[in-house]
Amino acid sequence: MFVSFSLFSSILLIGGIQGILLSIFLFSKKISKSHSNRILGLLTLIFSFNIITPEFVKNYPENFPHLIAVSFPFVFLVGPLLLFYVNALTGGNGINVKNIFLSAAPFFLSIIYLLPFYILSSNEKLEFYDLIRNTGLPDDFIFLWGFGCIHAAIYSFLVFRIIKSYQQKIKNENSEISRINLAWLKNLASGFSFVWTVYLFFFLIFTFGIATDPFGISDYFFGFVLSVLVYSIGYKGWKQPEIFHGFAAEKEKLNETKKYAKSGLTEDKSSEYLIHLKNFMENKKPHRNPEITLKELADSLGMHPNHISQIINEKLNQNFYDFINNYRIKEAERLLTSGSDLNILEIAFESGFKSKSTFNTAFKKHTGLTPTEYKKKK
Protein backbone atom coordinates (compact mmCIF):
# COMPACT_ATOMS: atom_id res chain seq x y z
CA MET A 1 0.00 0.00 0.00
CA PHE A 2 1.36 3.39 -1.01
CA VAL A 3 0.58 5.81 1.82
CA SER A 4 -0.05 9.46 1.00
CA PHE A 5 -1.95 12.14 2.85
CA SER A 6 -3.33 15.57 2.09
CA LEU A 7 -1.29 18.58 3.20
CA PHE A 8 -3.52 19.24 6.21
CA SER A 9 -3.52 15.57 7.24
CA SER A 10 0.27 15.55 6.93
CA ILE A 11 0.53 18.56 9.26
CA LEU A 12 -1.66 16.79 11.82
CA LEU A 13 0.37 13.61 11.56
CA ILE A 14 3.57 15.58 12.17
CA GLY A 15 1.93 17.03 15.28
CA GLY A 16 1.01 13.52 16.42
CA ILE A 17 4.54 12.25 15.82
CA GLN A 18 5.98 15.18 17.78
CA GLY A 19 3.64 14.26 20.62
CA ILE A 20 4.94 10.69 20.60
CA LEU A 21 8.55 11.93 20.70
CA LEU A 22 7.68 14.32 23.54
CA SER A 23 6.09 11.41 25.42
CA ILE A 24 9.23 9.32 24.99
CA PHE A 25 11.26 12.26 26.32
CA LEU A 26 8.99 12.63 29.35
CA PHE A 27 9.16 8.89 30.04
CA SER A 28 12.97 8.83 29.67
CA LYS A 29 14.97 7.81 32.71
CA LYS A 30 16.49 11.27 33.21
CA ILE A 31 13.17 13.16 33.12
CA SER A 32 10.67 10.62 34.46
CA LYS A 33 12.11 10.86 37.98
CA SER A 34 9.34 13.41 38.37
CA HIS A 35 6.02 11.60 38.81
CA SER A 36 4.22 14.52 37.18
CA ASN A 37 6.28 14.18 33.99
CA ARG A 38 5.14 10.59 33.52
CA ILE A 39 1.52 11.72 33.79
CA LEU A 40 2.11 14.51 31.28
CA GLY A 41 3.84 12.01 28.99
CA LEU A 42 0.80 9.73 29.10
CA LEU A 43 -1.50 12.68 28.40
CA THR A 44 0.58 13.72 25.39
CA LEU A 45 0.58 10.14 24.11
CA ILE A 46 -3.23 10.03 24.28
CA PHE A 47 -3.43 13.30 22.36
CA SER A 48 -1.12 11.92 19.70
CA PHE A 49 -3.20 8.76 19.42
CA ASN A 50 -6.35 10.86 18.99
CA ILE A 51 -4.64 12.95 16.31
CA ILE A 52 -3.14 10.10 14.27
CA THR A 53 -5.78 7.34 14.23
CA PRO A 54 -8.63 9.45 12.73
CA GLU A 55 -6.31 10.53 9.92
CA PHE A 56 -5.58 6.92 8.96
CA VAL A 57 -9.30 6.08 9.13
CA LYS A 58 -10.26 9.08 7.07
CA ASN A 59 -7.62 8.58 4.37
CA TYR A 60 -7.54 4.77 4.28
CA PRO A 61 -10.78 3.38 5.77
CA GLU A 62 -10.58 0.19 3.71
CA ASN A 63 -7.10 -0.54 5.10
CA PHE A 64 -7.74 0.44 8.71
CA PRO A 65 -11.42 -0.33 9.44
CA HIS A 66 -10.63 -1.55 12.94
CA LEU A 67 -9.28 1.89 13.86
CA ILE A 68 -12.75 3.42 13.48
CA ALA A 69 -13.82 4.84 16.88
CA VAL A 70 -10.93 3.07 18.63
CA SER A 71 -9.57 6.36 20.00
CA PHE A 72 -12.92 7.54 21.38
CA PRO A 73 -12.77 5.94 24.88
CA PHE A 74 -9.43 7.63 25.58
CA VAL A 75 -11.29 10.93 25.87
CA PHE A 76 -12.40 9.71 29.30
CA LEU A 77 -8.79 9.41 30.49
CA VAL A 78 -7.78 13.00 29.69
CA GLY A 79 -9.70 14.68 32.52
CA PRO A 80 -8.50 12.33 35.27
CA LEU A 81 -4.89 12.46 34.06
CA LEU A 82 -4.98 16.25 33.99
CA LEU A 83 -6.35 16.25 37.54
CA PHE A 84 -3.61 13.84 38.67
CA TYR A 85 -0.99 16.05 36.98
CA VAL A 86 -2.22 19.23 38.65
CA ASN A 87 -2.37 17.45 42.02
CA ALA A 88 1.18 16.18 41.56
CA LEU A 89 2.50 19.70 40.95
CA THR A 90 0.53 21.46 43.66
CA GLY A 91 1.09 18.93 46.43
CA GLY A 92 -2.57 17.88 46.48
CA ASN A 93 -4.07 14.48 47.21
CA GLY A 94 -1.85 11.58 46.22
CA ILE A 95 -2.79 8.90 43.72
CA ASN A 96 -3.99 5.63 45.20
CA VAL A 97 -5.55 2.49 43.78
CA LYS A 98 -9.07 3.63 44.64
CA ASN A 99 -8.62 6.97 42.86
CA ILE A 100 -7.20 5.28 39.77
CA PHE A 101 -10.01 2.73 39.65
CA LEU A 102 -12.79 5.31 40.03
CA SER A 103 -11.21 7.70 37.54
CA ALA A 104 -10.69 4.99 34.93
CA ALA A 105 -14.22 3.57 35.27
CA PRO A 106 -15.79 5.77 32.51
CA PHE A 107 -12.98 4.72 30.14
CA PHE A 108 -13.68 1.01 30.65
CA LEU A 109 -17.46 1.51 30.62
CA SER A 110 -17.21 3.28 27.26
CA ILE A 111 -15.21 0.36 25.87
CA ILE A 112 -17.91 -2.04 27.09
CA TYR A 113 -20.58 0.24 25.62
CA LEU A 114 -18.82 0.23 22.21
CA LEU A 115 -17.90 -3.46 22.33
CA PRO A 116 -20.75 -4.55 20.00
CA PHE A 117 -19.28 -2.21 17.38
CA TYR A 118 -15.66 -3.22 18.01
CA ILE A 119 -16.37 -6.92 17.37
CA LEU A 120 -17.98 -6.25 13.96
CA SER A 121 -16.20 -7.54 10.87
CA SER A 122 -14.17 -5.25 8.61
CA ASN A 123 -16.94 -5.10 5.99
CA GLU A 124 -19.57 -4.26 8.60
CA LYS A 125 -17.42 -1.45 9.95
CA LEU A 126 -16.86 -0.08 6.46
CA GLU A 127 -20.63 -0.11 5.84
CA PHE A 128 -21.11 1.77 9.11
CA TYR A 129 -18.38 4.23 8.08
CA ASP A 130 -20.10 4.96 4.75
CA LEU A 131 -23.46 5.29 6.46
CA ILE A 132 -22.44 7.82 9.12
CA ARG A 133 -20.64 9.99 6.56
CA ASN A 134 -23.99 10.48 4.83
CA THR A 135 -26.57 10.30 7.61
CA GLY A 136 -24.60 11.27 10.73
CA LEU A 137 -23.79 9.46 13.96
CA PRO A 138 -26.43 7.15 15.51
CA ASP A 139 -28.07 8.13 18.79
CA ASP A 140 -25.94 5.83 20.96
CA PHE A 141 -22.73 7.46 19.69
CA ILE A 142 -24.24 10.92 20.22
CA PHE A 143 -25.18 9.91 23.78
CA LEU A 144 -21.62 8.78 24.50
CA TRP A 145 -20.27 12.00 23.01
CA GLY A 146 -22.59 14.02 25.27
CA PHE A 147 -21.48 12.04 28.29
CA GLY A 148 -17.89 12.85 27.32
CA CYS A 149 -18.73 16.58 27.32
CA ILE A 150 -20.24 16.38 30.82
CA HIS A 151 -17.27 14.32 32.03
CA ALA A 152 -14.83 16.92 30.63
CA ALA A 153 -16.75 19.83 32.18
CA ILE A 154 -16.64 18.23 35.64
CA TYR A 155 -12.88 17.66 35.48
CA SER A 156 -12.25 21.17 34.11
CA PHE A 157 -14.10 22.57 37.13
CA LEU A 158 -12.09 20.41 39.54
CA VAL A 159 -8.79 21.37 37.92
CA PHE A 160 -9.45 25.11 38.06
CA ARG A 161 -10.61 24.80 41.66
CA ILE A 162 -7.30 23.17 42.63
CA ILE A 163 -5.33 25.83 40.74
CA LYS A 164 -7.25 28.61 42.52
CA SER A 165 -6.55 26.98 45.88
CA TYR A 166 -2.87 26.62 44.98
CA GLN A 167 -2.73 30.30 43.99
CA GLN A 168 -3.92 31.29 47.46
CA LYS A 169 -1.47 28.88 49.07
CA ILE A 170 1.64 30.37 47.41
CA LYS A 171 0.53 33.99 47.67
CA ASN A 172 3.18 34.85 50.23
CA GLU A 173 5.90 32.52 48.97
CA ASN A 174 9.04 33.74 47.22
CA SER A 175 9.56 30.49 45.30
CA GLU A 176 10.32 31.15 41.63
CA ILE A 177 9.43 27.56 40.78
CA SER A 178 6.02 27.96 42.42
CA ARG A 179 5.26 31.03 40.31
CA ILE A 180 6.36 29.27 37.12
CA ASN A 181 4.33 26.27 38.24
CA LEU A 182 1.18 28.39 38.66
CA ALA A 183 1.52 30.16 35.30
CA TRP A 184 2.18 26.86 33.53
CA LEU A 185 -0.84 25.16 35.10
CA LYS A 186 -3.11 28.09 34.22
CA ASN A 187 -1.98 27.98 30.59
CA LEU A 188 -2.28 24.20 30.40
CA ALA A 189 -5.74 24.15 31.99
CA SER A 190 -6.88 26.91 29.64
CA GLY A 191 -5.63 24.88 26.69
CA PHE A 192 -7.54 21.83 27.85
CA SER A 193 -10.66 23.91 28.41
CA PHE A 194 -10.45 25.22 24.85
CA VAL A 195 -10.20 21.63 23.59
CA TRP A 196 -13.31 20.75 25.60
CA THR A 197 -15.12 23.78 24.19
CA VAL A 198 -14.37 22.63 20.65
CA TYR A 199 -15.50 19.15 21.62
CA LEU A 200 -18.81 20.53 22.96
CA PHE A 201 -19.28 22.79 19.92
CA PHE A 202 -19.17 19.90 17.47
CA PHE A 203 -21.32 17.75 19.73
CA LEU A 204 -24.06 20.40 19.47
CA ILE A 205 -23.62 20.65 15.70
CA PHE A 206 -24.11 16.90 15.25
CA THR A 207 -26.88 16.67 17.85
CA PHE A 208 -29.00 19.27 16.05
CA GLY A 209 -28.23 17.89 12.59
CA ILE A 210 -26.30 20.98 11.39
CA ALA A 211 -23.55 18.64 10.16
CA THR A 212 -23.53 14.90 9.49
CA ASP A 213 -20.04 13.80 8.49
CA PRO A 214 -17.92 13.27 11.66
CA PHE A 215 -14.84 12.78 9.49
CA GLY A 216 -15.20 16.14 7.76
CA ILE A 217 -14.29 19.57 9.05
CA SER A 218 -14.90 18.65 12.71
CA ASP A 219 -12.26 15.93 12.59
CA TYR A 220 -9.75 18.26 10.96
CA PHE A 221 -10.49 21.09 13.38
CA PHE A 222 -10.36 18.91 16.50
CA GLY A 223 -7.10 17.34 15.31
CA PHE A 224 -5.68 20.79 14.63
CA VAL A 225 -6.56 22.02 18.16
CA LEU A 226 -4.93 18.94 19.72
CA SER A 227 -1.84 19.41 17.53
CA VAL A 228 -1.52 23.04 18.65
CA LEU A 229 -1.75 21.89 22.27
CA VAL A 230 0.98 19.28 21.72
CA TYR A 231 3.19 21.85 19.96
CA SER A 232 2.59 24.29 22.83
CA ILE A 233 3.59 21.76 25.51
CA GLY A 234 6.79 20.95 23.65
CA TYR A 235 7.61 24.60 22.94
CA LYS A 236 6.93 25.72 26.50
CA GLY A 237 9.11 22.93 27.89
CA TRP A 238 11.90 23.93 25.50
CA LYS A 239 11.69 27.63 26.36
CA GLN A 240 11.21 27.07 30.10
CA PRO A 241 13.00 23.88 31.18
CA GLU A 242 11.85 24.36 34.79
CA ILE A 243 8.53 22.91 33.62
CA PHE A 244 10.11 19.47 33.23
CA HIS A 245 13.06 19.80 35.63
CA GLY A 246 12.35 22.41 38.28
CA PHE A 247 9.16 21.04 39.81
CA ALA A 248 10.79 17.83 40.98
CA ALA A 249 13.61 19.81 42.54
CA GLU A 250 11.20 22.13 44.33
CA LYS A 251 9.18 19.22 45.63
CA GLU A 252 12.35 17.56 46.85
CA LYS A 253 13.30 20.76 48.61
CA LEU A 254 10.05 20.86 50.56
CA ASN A 255 10.83 17.45 52.06
CA GLU A 256 14.45 18.18 52.96
CA THR A 257 13.86 18.96 56.66
CA LYS A 258 12.58 15.45 57.34
CA LYS A 259 15.17 13.82 55.11
CA TYR A 260 18.11 15.58 56.78
CA ALA A 261 16.94 15.03 60.35
CA LYS A 262 19.18 11.94 60.67
CA SER A 263 22.01 13.03 58.37
CA GLY A 264 24.48 13.50 61.24
CA LEU A 265 25.90 16.67 59.66
CA THR A 266 26.81 19.10 62.44
CA GLU A 267 26.59 22.89 62.12
CA ASP A 268 30.39 23.28 62.20
CA LYS A 269 30.91 20.57 59.62
CA SER A 270 28.20 22.06 57.45
CA SER A 271 29.92 25.48 57.47
CA GLU A 272 33.26 23.85 56.66
CA TYR A 273 31.75 21.92 53.75
CA LEU A 274 30.07 25.08 52.43
CA ILE A 275 33.43 26.89 52.23
CA HIS A 276 34.92 23.88 50.49
CA LEU A 277 32.00 23.75 48.05
CA LYS A 278 32.20 27.45 47.18
CA ASN A 279 35.97 27.29 46.64
CA PHE A 280 35.54 24.30 44.37
CA MET A 281 32.81 26.03 42.33
CA GLU A 282 34.92 29.18 41.91
CA ASN A 283 38.18 27.41 41.03
CA LYS A 284 37.12 24.28 39.13
CA LYS A 285 33.93 25.68 37.56
CA PRO A 286 31.99 22.39 37.37
CA HIS A 287 28.89 24.38 36.36
CA ARG A 288 30.37 24.71 32.88
CA ASN A 289 29.47 21.07 32.35
CA PRO A 290 25.83 21.17 31.08
CA GLU A 291 25.26 17.60 32.29
CA ILE A 292 26.58 18.07 35.84
CA THR A 293 24.63 16.13 38.47
CA LEU A 294 24.56 16.24 42.25
CA LYS A 295 26.33 12.87 42.45
CA GLU A 296 29.09 13.96 40.08
CA LEU A 297 29.70 17.12 42.09
CA ALA A 298 29.72 15.12 45.32
CA ASP A 299 32.21 12.60 43.91
CA SER A 300 34.53 15.44 42.82
CA LEU A 301 34.44 16.91 46.32
CA GLY A 302 34.73 13.55 48.09
CA MET A 303 31.46 14.22 49.91
CA HIS A 304 28.15 12.44 50.22
CA PRO A 305 25.44 13.76 47.80
CA ASN A 306 22.97 14.13 50.69
CA HIS A 307 25.38 16.39 52.55
CA ILE A 308 25.82 18.68 49.55
CA SER A 309 22.08 18.78 49.01
CA GLN A 310 21.53 19.61 52.68
CA ILE A 311 24.11 22.43 52.60
CA ILE A 312 22.62 23.97 49.45
CA ASN A 313 19.09 23.75 50.84
CA GLU A 314 19.71 24.86 54.41
CA LYS A 315 22.67 27.23 54.09
CA LEU A 316 21.83 28.84 50.73
CA ASN A 317 18.05 28.28 50.64
CA GLN A 318 18.32 26.92 47.10
CA ASN A 319 17.85 23.66 45.25
CA PHE A 320 20.64 22.10 43.22
CA TYR A 321 19.15 23.36 39.93
CA ASP A 322 19.14 27.01 41.05
CA PHE A 323 22.54 26.68 42.75
CA ILE A 324 24.25 25.57 39.54
CA ASN A 325 22.39 28.11 37.41
CA ASN A 326 23.53 30.97 39.68
CA TYR A 327 27.15 30.13 38.91
CA ARG A 328 26.37 29.82 35.20
CA ILE A 329 24.79 33.28 35.21
CA LYS A 330 27.81 34.76 37.03
CA GLU A 331 30.06 33.14 34.43
CA ALA A 332 27.95 34.59 31.63
CA GLU A 333 27.99 38.06 33.19
CA ARG A 334 31.78 37.92 33.38
CA LEU A 335 32.08 36.89 29.72
CA LEU A 336 29.57 39.50 28.55
CA THR A 337 31.51 42.33 30.19
CA SER A 338 35.05 41.08 29.50
CA GLY A 339 35.24 42.38 25.93
CA SER A 340 35.33 38.80 24.64
CA ASP A 341 34.73 38.13 20.94
CA LEU A 342 32.37 35.30 21.81
CA ASN A 343 28.80 35.67 20.55
CA ILE A 344 25.73 35.08 22.75
CA LEU A 345 25.39 31.40 21.78
CA GLU A 346 29.07 30.72 22.46
CA ILE A 347 28.80 32.45 25.84
CA ALA A 348 25.78 30.30 26.66
CA PHE A 349 27.70 27.09 25.91
CA GLU A 350 30.83 28.36 27.66
CA SER A 351 28.78 29.08 30.79
CA GLY A 352 27.25 25.59 30.89
CA PHE A 353 23.86 26.11 29.25
CA LYS A 354 22.57 23.61 26.71
CA SER A 355 20.82 26.08 24.42
CA LYS A 356 20.45 29.77 23.71
CA SER A 357 16.76 29.76 24.67
CA THR A 358 17.48 28.19 28.08
CA PHE A 359 20.27 30.71 28.62
CA ASN A 360 18.07 33.69 27.71
CA THR A 361 15.27 32.55 30.03
CA ALA A 362 17.56 31.91 33.00
CA PHE A 363 19.59 35.08 32.46
CA LYS A 364 16.56 37.36 32.27
CA LYS A 365 15.06 35.69 35.35
CA HIS A 366 18.18 36.52 37.38
CA THR A 367 19.11 39.97 35.96
CA GLY A 368 15.88 41.34 34.49
CA LEU A 369 17.68 41.80 31.16
CA THR A 370 18.37 39.63 28.15
CA PRO A 371 22.08 38.83 27.56
CA THR A 372 22.15 41.26 24.61
CA GLU A 373 20.60 44.06 26.68
CA TYR A 374 23.00 43.34 29.56
CA LYS A 375 26.02 43.49 27.27
CA LYS A 376 24.96 46.83 25.77
CA LYS A 377 24.18 48.33 29.18
CA LYS A 378 27.54 47.36 30.61
C-alpha separations of 50 from 10, 66, 203, 339 in Å: 15, 14, 16, 53
Do 292 and 212 reside in the same domain of the chain?
no
Report which of 349, 316, 320 is spatially closest to residue 332, judged by C-alpha positions.
Answer: 349
pLDDT average, residue stretch 73-79: 92
**Residues of the chain above pLDDT 90, percent:** 24
Residue 234 lies in a domain: yes
Q: How far is it, in rounded angstroms, from Cα 106 to Cα 74?
A: 10
| 222, 358: one domain | no
Residue 181, domain member (yes or no): yes
56 and 35 in one domain? yes
Per-residue pLDDT tens for 2-21?
Answer: 455 677 777 788 888 988 99
For 356, list phi and psi in degrees, rounded to 5. -65, -40
Q: How is 163-206 classified by DSSP, letter by letter? A: HHHHHHHTTT---HHHHHHHHHHHHHHHHHHHHHHHHHHHHHHH
**220 and 128 fall within a common domain:** yes
Choosing from 229, 245, 261, the residue where a domain stops is 245
Q: How far is residue 91's CA from residue 105's CA, in Å, rounded to a whole number?
A: 24
Residue 237 and residue 273 share a domain: no
Domain membership of residue 2 (yes or no) is no
Q: Which of 25-34, 102-111, 124-133, 267-276 has the lowest mean pLDDT?
A: 25-34
**Domain end residue (candidates: 205, 226, 245):** 245
For residue range 312-360, what is the model confidence (pLDDT) as tens digits? 888 888 888 889 989 999 999 999 988 888 899 999 999 999 888 888 8
- pLDDT at position 30: 62
Distance of alpha carbon 334 from alpha carbon 369, whole angstroms: 15
Same domain, 100 and 186: yes
pTM of the model: 0.63
Count of domains in the chain?
2
> What letter represents residue 81's amino acid?
L
Please check whether residues 229 and 193 belong to one and the same domain: yes
pLDDT at 277: 93
Give residue 249's pLDDT. Answer: 47
The pLDDT mean for the chain works out to 82
* CATH number, domain with residue 369: 1.10.10.60
Domain span holding position 236: 7-245
> Looking at the domain assignment, is residue 142 inside a domain?
yes
Whether residues 259 and 133 share a domain: the answer is no
User: Does 1 map to a domain?
Assistant: no
**How many Cβ atoms from other residues are within 10 Å of residue 313's Cβ?**
20
Residue 211 and residue 217 in contact, taking contact as beta carbons nearer than 8 Å: yes
Of 245, 277, 305, the last residue of a domain is 245
Do residues 125 and 263 both lie within one domain?
Answer: no
In a domain, 184, yes or no: yes
Tell me the C-alpha distance between 173 and 161, whole Å. Answer: 20
Confidence class of residue 165 from pLDDT cuts 50, 70 and 90?
A: confident
| pLDDT tens string 188-242 | 899 889 988 988 888 888 888 777 776 666 667 777 888 888 888 888 777 666 6
Q: Given pLDDT bands bounded at 50, 70 and 90, which one contains residue 278? A: very high
Per-residue model confidence (pLDDT) at position 222: 77
Residue 210 and residue 76 share a domain: yes
133 and 15 part of one domain: yes
**Quick one: 314 and 219 in the same domain?**
no
Residue 29 has pLDDT above 60, yes or no: no
